[in-house]
Amino acid sequence: MKPAGQMTLTLTAELEQFVRDEVRRGAFASSSEYIRELVRERYLKERDRAAKLRALEAALSRGIADADAGRTVPLDEAFAQLRTALGLPDKSFDP
């Protein structure tokens, strides 16, 4: 059965030897398995990064909308709320 997709890769001699050594030491069953694992790791990392970026953009949009709607808290009050939530001593913010 033919895999869903095939690619031909060209590596430098040094990289090719590295992959062959990894397979030889038993870390992977084949060169293809090694490359697939590397691509899979990179794919998952990029997918997670993109999800975090989307979440950050959504949070920023909500924050901007709140500020535009006047739903803000003075900085000293915000710090006091944070200190209370974190169980830290109450200190007034002095800019």
In a domain, 7, yes or no: no
pTM over 0.75: no
In a domain, 1, yes or no: no
Q: Give yes or no for residue 93 having a pLDDT over 80.
A: no
In a domain, 95, yes or no: no
Q: How many structural domains are present in the chain?
A: 1
Q: Please indicate whether residue 21 or residue 4 has the higher confidence score (pLDDT).
A: 21
53-82 pLDDT, tens digit per residue, is: 999 999 999 999 999 999 999 999 999 999
In a domain, 74, yes or no: yes
Contact 29/23 with Cβ under 8 angstroms? yes
In a domain, 93, yes or no: no
The DSSP element (H or E) to which 51 belongs, if any, is helix 31-68
Least Cα distance to 74 among 50, 55, 93 occurs for: 93
Tokens standing for residue 67: 């500020």
Give me the domain span that covers residue 71.
13-86
In a domain, 2, yes or no: no
Q: Give yes or no for residue 91 having a pLDDT over 80.
A: no
Longest dimension (CA), the chain: 70
* Residue 63 confidence (pLDDT): 95
CA separation for the pair 79, 85 (Å, rounded): 10
